[in-house]
Structure 1
Amino acid sequence: MHDDRTTAPTTPAPSSTSLPDGYAFAPVPPTSEEYVRLREISGLSPRTPAQAAGALANSWAWITARTEEGALAAMGRVLGDGTWYFHLADIATDPAHQRQGLGRAVMEHLIARIDEAAPPHPYITLLADPPGQRLYRSLGFVESDPSLGMRLPR
């Protein structure tokens, strides 16, 4: 079967984003086990390995930050069509690695990848839980007024 989906670049976009010493970026998803664990320990809603499989396989772009020893310290991904609509998701940092700028670096890197790939004026969204709102605002995100984010509970 042929896959016509737009795919993300295979290398990171040029970015002035720098990571603290001892960390490195990779433009690949974490393992399923790492994804489930990092979501849980960082305070995001828990997901099952089956849900992780879909997230890992069907995202437009991923970035992971790892320690020199290879441990997953932070992650983030982008959902979207690769042309005008992009949604940032799963922005998470291991609590043992927080307050070092990893979340900001992940966000800046993903935004740079979108800016490199998209035509002018892409629509970039995210859902901002209270712990991340200050960071997102500092990166230029604003409330989507008059639109209201909505979800269908299940």
Structure 2
Amino acid sequence: MVDLPEGYRLLDGPPPVDEYLALRRAAGLSPRSRAQAVAALPGSWYACHVLHAESGLAVAMGRVIGDGGWYFHVADMAVLPEHQRRGLGDAVLTVLLDRIRAKAPPGAYVNLLADPPGRRLYARHGFTETAPDSIGMALKLP
């Protein structure tokens, strides 16, 4: 388990849907609809969030989606701006990766899409850029 500053507690599972959506929005992640969140969160391979004792709200989160065999994608890494620089993102990522290491078969492939604010955090945890060997590609459906 990881150490968190006083007043914070790490919980297994994603935050409640409304807190998930608010946390995404406040942390600058792309907005998602309630219907998307309701469908997505139960499909997580693993998720965790950090609860702020004083407010009772989720202030950090992350989740892993994947097939449980060889492919694992880290998603929804977010920390509320007013709770950043306290090690919460580092703690969440540590727990996600520890879970993968403990439960995934040997040879698991872990990836993520790294926006500029998170790149240093991910590099500290051993993630490296895949370009030019491979690049991220996306298809947004209407």
Do the two structures share a fold, i.e. TM-score over 0.5?
A: yes
* Map of 1:148 onto structure 2: 135
- Structure 1 residue aligned with 2:45: 60
For 2:51, give the aligned amino acid: R
Whether 1:39 and 2:37 are equivalent positions in the alignment is no
Correspondence 1:121 to 2:111:
no
Give the conservation status (yes or no) of the 8 Å contact 1:83–1:117.
Answer: no
Distance in 1 between residues matched to 2:58 and 2:11, nearest whole Å = 10
Matches for 1:124-139 after TM superposition, within 5 Å: 124-139=110-125
Query: Structure 1 residue 84 and structure 2 residue 70: aligned?
Result: yes
Gaps of 5+ in 1: 1-14
- Does the 8 Å contact 2:19/2:57 carry over to 1? no
Q: What displacement does 1:153 show?
A: 3.0
Q: Which runs of 4+ in 1 moved over 3 A?
A: none
1:26 corresponds to which residue?
A: 11
TM-score when normalising by structure 1: 0.87
| C-alpha displacement of 1:55 | 1.7
Tell me how far 1:56 sits from its aligned partner: 1.3
Identity fraction in percent:
52
| Secondary structure of 2:68 counterpart | coil
- Which whole-Å CA distance do the structure 2 matches of 1:142 and 1:134 have between them? 10
Q: How many residues align?
A: 139
The C-alpha deviation readout for 1:38-63, integer Å capped at 9, x for no partner, is 00000000111001111211111110
Question: How far apart are 1:85 and its partner, in Å?
Answer: 0.7
Which residue in 1 is equivalent to 2:86? Answer: 100
